[in-house]
Amino acid sequence: MTEIGEINDVDDTRTPVFNLDSIQQQITVLLVDDDMQLLDLTATFLKRERDEFAVETVNCAKGGLSYVVEHEVDAIVSDYEMPGLDGLEFLERIREESDIPFILFTGKGSEQIASEAISRGVTDYLQKKSDTSQFSLLANRIVNSVERHRKSKQLERSQEKFSKLVTNSSDVLGIVNENAEFRYISPVCEDLLGYEQHEIIGEVAFGFMPPEDRENAMNEFYRAIEHPESEPVIEHHWEKKNGELVPFETRGTNMFDDEFINGFVVNGRDISDYKKHQKQIETQNERLTEMHQALSHDIKNPLQVASNSMALYRETDEDQYLEKIEDALDRVDVLVKQILTMTEQETRPRNPEQVSLRDVATQAWSMTETESAALAIDGSKEFEADKNRLQRVFENLFDNAVEHSEGDVTISVGTFDRGVYIEDDGPGIPEEKHSKIFESGYTTKSANTGYGLDIVEQIVDNHGWDIELQEEARNGARFEITTIEFKSELHH
């Protein structure tokens, strides 16, 4: 604010706060003075001083109050001693509704009037003198006051927009100083990171990163400090209050030159879902490679058998070669179906719903060749799953048990405290093969594809569960699917 108390310093030749030549926008000035001659003189000189001035005049405070109700005004210049409402009372009434610049331009100056004017919110105070240089000074004061007021309003609008932006944004928005200490962080930090705002403000940003991420983040930050035009984008981890590491992508913008921001703005978003999707794509690419290998290797053999058998059939006309062709084509059909199933299981369950263990196991059993096998189901708990895909899990496990049993076999399905089990009383799986059974293409029988249990593991993983072959099973094989939340647990 201009030095209001210096009421006698009418020869003020201070350099204006702002470059007057740079201001092009019109400034509407309302002059209020009961001295009509001085009123007209002041209006004339102000127009001469600044082309952008639009000067309006009234000869009393009440007239001034009426004018500002009906018109837009950028600044008010008022005398102090006027009949009716004086300048201070006029100022007080204006301040009840507005904070527009108000300059008290009076011939009656005193420390008491200046003090009262300050307490009532005057913008500036200037004492009238007889020489015309006072009008140049008054013009400067008007322009400076209006420019400050406009910048203040613009800042308020920016703050309001910024506040709305950070309040409604799902990203973590922050402002750090040149030492990377947080001066501001958006409220969403509590939901995403577990910290309240006051726990982060004042702390160094790099302190919330694991050591392996800090060097790159620091290099990018200080490079952007030296080169303001750069806008670094980095991937790193935020350490939540509970110690969990969350993958983030953070963009930085050097805004130290911005009057409102005056800092380095960081915009970070949780990319956990993106990372999971990226991992799924990588897994899918691996599966596509495996399928290519399966198609080029596994299918080639039965096709060669079919081709050779067809040649022999044409030579001998013996039906045994037709049977070999049929077997070979059946083998191709099984391979193709298994490979197609692998591609279908690349994504998470599409239609999760409440399913009954008994219903899914029974339906899967009806799709299995079970002439020498029996099914025993213990319990009918419900849980959320993609029914069709879960049925495929049971079908593969049932097929696996039946195919590896030389005689009659009983398969039992039930629940325990950690999930669901599927076990049989067949010959079991040799211990040295336990670590390989879920590998893609692994099989102990040449007639099988080796993709059945791989598919099972994919479906289970995509549901967010785990599957294990229990090594301590005394007889047969026992598979346990864990981390399933049963219906009663879901409501807790």
Q: Residue 206 corresponds to which amino acid?
A: F
Reported CATH class of domain 20-163: alpha beta
- Specify whether domain 349-492 bears CATH 1.20.950.20: no
Q: Residue 26 corresponds to which amino acid?
A: Q
The DSSP result for 168-210, as a single string, is: H-SSEEEEE-TT-BEEEE-TTHHHHHS--HHHHTTSBGGGGS-
pLDDT band for 316, please (50, 70, 90 cuts). very high
pLDDT reported for residue 449: 45
**For the residues 443-465, what does the mean pLDDT come to?**
70
pLDDT at 341 over 80: no
Of 30-39, 40-49, 125-134, 138-147, which gets the smallest average pLDDT? Answer: 125-134
299 burial type by CB count under 10 A (0-12 exposed, 13-18 middle, 19+ buried): middle
**CA atoms of 141 and 135, how far apart (whole Å):** 10
> Would you mind telling me the total number of residues written for the chain in this entry?
492
Q: Residue 71 corresponds to which amino acid?
A: H
What is 169-270's CATH number, 3.40.30.10, 3.30.450.20, 3.40.50.970, 3.40.50.10470?
3.30.450.20
Alpha helices, H only, 299-441:
300-316, 319-344, 357-366, 387-403
pLDDT band for 490, please (50, 70, 90 cuts). very low
289 burial type by CB count under 10 A (0-12 exposed, 13-18 middle, 19+ buried): exposed
pLDDT band for 158, please (50, 70, 90 cuts). confident
Tokens at 324, concatenated: 């070999």
Residue 271 or residue 459, greater confidence: 271
270 sits in the region (left: phi over 0; alpha: psi -120 to 50; else beta) called beta
pLDDT reported for residue 451: 52
Going across the sheet that includes 478-482, the strands are 373-378, 409-416, 419-424, 478-482, 466-469
pLDDT reported for residue 454: 77
Residue 53 or residue 366, greater confidence: 53
pLDDT at 346 over 60: no
pLDDT at 6 over 80: no
pLDDT per residue as tens digits for the range 136-155: 999 999 999 999 999 888 87
Contacts (Cβ under 8 Å, ≥6 apart) of 391: 360, 363, 364, 367
pLDDT band for 295, please (50, 70, 90 cuts). low
Residue where the block lists tokens 């405070």 = 61
For the chain, the average pLDDT equals 84
In sequence order, the β-bridge partners of residue 125 are 104
pLDDT reported for residue 135: 93
Q: How far is CA 59 from the centre of its chain?
A: 59
Q: How far is CA 393 from the centre of its chain?
A: 36
Using alpha carbons only, give the angle 461, 482, 450 rounded to the nearest 5 degrees.
Answer: 50
pLDDT band for 450, please (50, 70, 90 cuts). very low
pLDDT reported for residue 11: 39
Sign of CA dihedral 147, 148, 153, 154: positive
- pTM score above 0.85: no
Residue 440 or residue 215, greater confidence: 215
pLDDT at 110 over 70: yes
pLDDT band for 286, please (50, 70, 90 cuts). confident
pLDDT reported for residue 15: 40
Alpha helices, H only, 50-84:
61-70
**For the residues 4-29, what does the mean pLDDT come to?**
49
Give me the residue spans of the domains in the chain. 20-163, 169-270, 271-347, 349-492
The three state secondary structure string of 14-43 is CCCCCCHHHCCCCEEEEEECCCHHHHHHHH
pLDDT at 22 over 50: no
